[in-house]
Amino acid sequence: MPATQPRTSGELRPGRWPGERLGLPAAGSGSVGRVGRRLAALAIDWVAAIVIALLFAPYSSTLHTWLTLGIFALMQVLFIPTIGGSVGHRLVGLRVVPVAGGWVGPWRPVVRTVLLVIVLPAVVWDSDQRGFHDKLAGTVLIRA
C-alpha cells in the first residue's frame, strides 16, 4: 500500500493547509476562517449578548448570566441560517457553510450552538481547524 494512502478512514493525513482535505483554498475567500477572526467574532457576539441581557437583569445577577448565555445561543441559531453566520462572524468576514454545500438549514445551527455553549467541543480542533461542534454539525467556518 502506498505511504500516502491512509489504511483506514480514521487515519486521514493532515492537508498542507487547513481545509485542503475539504476542497477549500489555502487563502482568500472560501478558505477556512483562522483563529484570530474566530475569536474576534466570538467576542463581538458575547458582548452583544451581555449588553442585550443588561436590558433585563443587573450585570452581577445569576439571571443576567443565564440570559447572556441564552441570548448568545439564540443569536447563533437565528442568524446562522438567515445571514450565513452570527453578527460577529459577518462583521469579521466569516460565514458558516455546510461541508457538503447548499443551505445550512435549521438543524445544523442548533447542533453547533448546543455544542458551542458547552465550550469544550469548540476548543478541540482537527487539522482543518474545525472545532468538534462544526464537525458534528457538518459545517465549516470560512472567509466570506
- Domain-located, residue 16: no
Interacting residues of 49 by C-beta distance below 8 A, sequence separation 6+: 68, 69, 71, 72, 75
| pLDDT score recorded for residue 8 | 47
- Give the pLDDT confidence of 2-52 residue by residue, as tens digits: 444 444 445 567 788 998 998 999 999 999 999 899 999 999 999 999 999
Q: From the DSSP assignment, how many helices (H) and strands (E) are in the chain?
A: 6, 2
Which residues form the domain of 112? 26-143
Phi-psi region of 101 (alpha: psi -120 to 50; beta: other; left: phi over 0): left
Provide the whole-model pTM. Answer: 0.85
Lookup: cell for 66? 443565564
- Total domain count for the chain? 1
- Domain-located, residue 119: yes
Which amino acid, 139?
T
How far is Cα 19 from Cα 101, in angstroms, rounded to an integer?
14
- Give the pLDDT confidence of 79-125 residue by residue, as tens digits: 999 999 999 999 999 999 999 999 999 999 999 999 999 887 778 88
